[in-house]
Amino acid sequence: MKALLPILTVLAAIVVLWYGAAVWLNSQWIYDQAARAGTEVTVTQLLSETMVQDRPVLPAPHQVAQGLWDGLAGQKITSKRSLVYHGWITLSATMAGFALGTGLGILLAVGIVHSRAMDMSVMPWAIASQTVPILAIAPMVIVVLASLGIKGLLPKAIIAAYLSFFPVLVGMVKGLRAPEGQQLDLLRTYNASGAATFWKLRLPSSMPYLFASLKVGIAAALVGAIVAELPAGATMGLGARLLSGSYYGQTIQIWAALFTAAALAASLVMIVGVIERVTLKRMGMAR
Amino acid sequence: MIWALGAIAFWIAGSALNVWIAGRYGRARWARLFVPLLFGATLLVLWEGLVRGLDVSPVILPPPSMIAARFAQSTDLLWGDFIQTILKGALSGYVIGCGAAVAVAVLIDRSPFLQRGLLPVGNFVAALPIVGIAPILVMWFGFDWQSKAAVVVVMVFFPVLVNMVAGLAATDHLQRDLMATYSASYGQSLLKLRLPAAMPFLFNGLKIATTLALIGAIVAEFFGSPTRGMGFRINTAVGQLDMPLVWAEITVAALAGSGFFGGMALIEKAVTFWHPSQRAR
C-alpha cells in the first residue's frame, strides 16, 4: 500500500508525458495539412486534431485503449481481428516452448550437478550460447523448419524453449547445489543413496531458485514466441500483428498488440508467482 | 555412413577422455580450458560427420567446413554488415542507453519517493517483450542505424537502471555512518563510497545488456533497413536459400556477442577486483 502512491504518480507522469509527446509528434501532419489548405492552425484545433488521427505517429493513450478494447472485446474471439485470438496463438506457442525449455533445463541441471565432466564441458558452452543473439536468427530457424515441412506451433515453441532454458538451467544448478555441506553430510551418515539425496534434499531445496528462474524464463519464452512470428508469411499471433501493423502504418494496431503482449507477460509472471507462493507455503519454505 | 559412424566414434572417445580428465585433473587450470574446448570440437565434428554421412542437404543444414569456406570468401561483406549493425547500431545505442540509465539512477537516488515509484515500473518494463517497439521506432527514426540504436537504448535502459539502483543501495549502515563521521558531503560519499560499491551490480546489468543490445540491433533490421546489416543479410540470404552465408553471419554475431560479453567481463575484473566473486578463484 505504501508503494501505491509513488507508482501511481509515476504512471500518471508517464501518461501526461505521452499526451504531450502525442501532440508534439502528430502536429507535423496537421501543420502540413493547414499549409496545403492555406489556413492557420489554432492551439485548440491542434490539440483536438492530434488526438483523433487515423494513423498518428504516436497514438494518444485513449486511442490505444480504444484499439485495445476493440480488439479484445469488440470482436468475436474467432475473428482474425480479435486480439484474443492472436494472443491465444502466441500464448500456446509460449507455453509449449516454456514446458520444453524448463524440462530440458532441469534435466541438464541434474546432469551437471551429478557429473563433474558434464559440468566442466557443458556449462561454459551454455553460458556462451547466451551471448549469441539467437533471438535475431529466430526467423531463419522458422523458415528452415518450414522448408522441412515442420510448421505451426513447434518451430515457435523451439525458439521459446531455447530462450527459456538458460535461466532455468542456471537457477537449477545453483538451487541443486544450495544444500550445505552439513546437510549433505547428515544424509551420508544415514547412508542415503544418491537418488534419495536428490529427491529428499537437493530437489526440495532448489525450489526457491527454480521459481525465481521460471519467472525470468516465462517472460523470455513469450519474447521468443513473438519474435518467431515475425518472418513474413506468418498471419497469426501477436508478432504477426506487429509486423502487419508496421507494413500498413497502422500505429494503433501496433500499440494495441504491444499492450496485449505486455499484459500477457505480466499475467504469466504473476501466475508463476502465485504458484510459487502456494508451493513454498505447502513445503514450509514461505518467507 | 563411414562419416557418420566415425563422427559418433570420435564423439564418444572425446567424451570418455573428458570424463577421465575431469575426474583426474578436475582442479587443474589447463583442464578447465581443455575440457570445454574438446567438448566444442567434438560437437563440431559430430555436426560435420552427421551432415555428410546422412547426406543432409546444405539448404537445411550446411556442414561447418562449408560455412568456414563461405566465411573466408565473403569477409568484406561480413565486415560491412558488422560495422553497420554492431558498431553503428548496437554499440552507440548501448553506450547511450547504459549512460542514461546510470545517470537516471544517480538522479533518482536522492528521492526515495521516485525510487519507490520508478523501481516497480522499471522491473515490470524489464520483463516486457520490448523488442515489440522495434517497428514503432523504425517508423520514427527511419531505416538507417539511428532507429536500431534507439531500439537498443530502450532495451538496455531498464535492466541497467534496476541494477544500478540496487547497487547504489548496497552500502550498509556502518559504512555510511563512517562517511558521516568524516563529515563527507553527499557528493563525496557518492563518489568515494557508493559508486564503487555499486560497481558489481552495475556490471551485472551491463553484461546482461550486451546480449540485449545485439538482439535489438539485429531484430530491428527485420522491420526495415538499408541494404546492409546483419539482420538484413540474414533475411535476404534465407530468401535465396544461401544457408552458408546465414550461418557465417550467425558466426559473426556469435563472435561479436562473446567478444562484447568477454570484454565487459574483463573490464569488470579490472574495476571490481576487490569483490569476493573476483578474488575467490
- Written as nine digits, the cell of A75 is 470482436
pLDDT per residue as tens digits for the range A248-271: 777 888 888 888 888 888 888 889
State the DSSP code for A68.
H
Instruction: Residue B62: list chain A partners with CB under 8 A.
Output: none
Helix axes B29-53, B2-25, angle to 10 degrees: 170
Quick check: A229 and A94 in contact, CB under 8 A?
no
- Written as nine digits, the cell of B152 is 537498443
End-to-end CA distance of chain B: 45
Q: What DSSP string runs through B231-257?
A: HHHHHHHHHTT-HHHHHHHHHHHHHHH
State the complex-level ipTM: 0.71
Find the closest chain B residue to A5 by CA distance: B117
- Residue A260 makes CB contacts below 8 A (sequence gap 6+) with A68, A71, A72, A83, A86, A87, A238
Helix axes B230-239, A138-147, angle to 10 degrees: 10
The residue assigned the cell 469488440 is: A74
| pLDDT above 60: residue A1 | no
Which helix (H) or strand (E) element contains residue A188?
A: helix A181-189
Asked which of A157-161, A282-286, B43-47, B256-260 is least confident by mean pLDDT, the reply is A282-286
Superfamily of domain A83-282: MetI-like (1.10.3720.10)
pLDDT at position B279 is 64
- Written as nine digits, the cell of A241 is 500483428
Residues 15-54 of B with CB under 8 A from A: 15, 18-19, 21-23, 26, 31-32, 35-36, 38-40, 43
Quick check: A248 and A233 in contact, CB under 8 A?
no
Residues 100-129 of A with CB under 8 A from B: 115-117, 119-125, 128
Shortest distance, CA B33 to any CA of chain A (angstroms): 9
Quick check: B193 and B185 in contact, CB under 8 A?
no
For B219, the closest of A14, A135, A266 (CB atoms) is: A135
Chain-chain contact of B218 with A136 (C-beta, under 8 angstroms): yes
d(CA B136, CA B150): 10
Q: Decide if A192 touches B, using CB distance below 8 A.
A: no
d(CA B40, CA A68): 48
- Confidence at A286, pLDDT banded by 50, 70, 90: low
What backbone torsions phi and psi does residue A60 show, to the nearest 5 degrees? -70, 155
- Written as nine digits, the cell of B259 is 567478444
Neighbouring CB atoms inside 10 A of B36's CB total 19
d(CA B167, CA B189): 14
pLDDT per residue as tens digits for the range A62-101: 888 888 888 777 777 677 777 888 888 889 989 999 999 9
Quick check: A93 and A153 in contact, CB under 8 A?
yes
Q: Where do the domains of chain A lie?
A: 4-57, 83-282
Q: Which pTM value belongs to this model?
A: 0.78
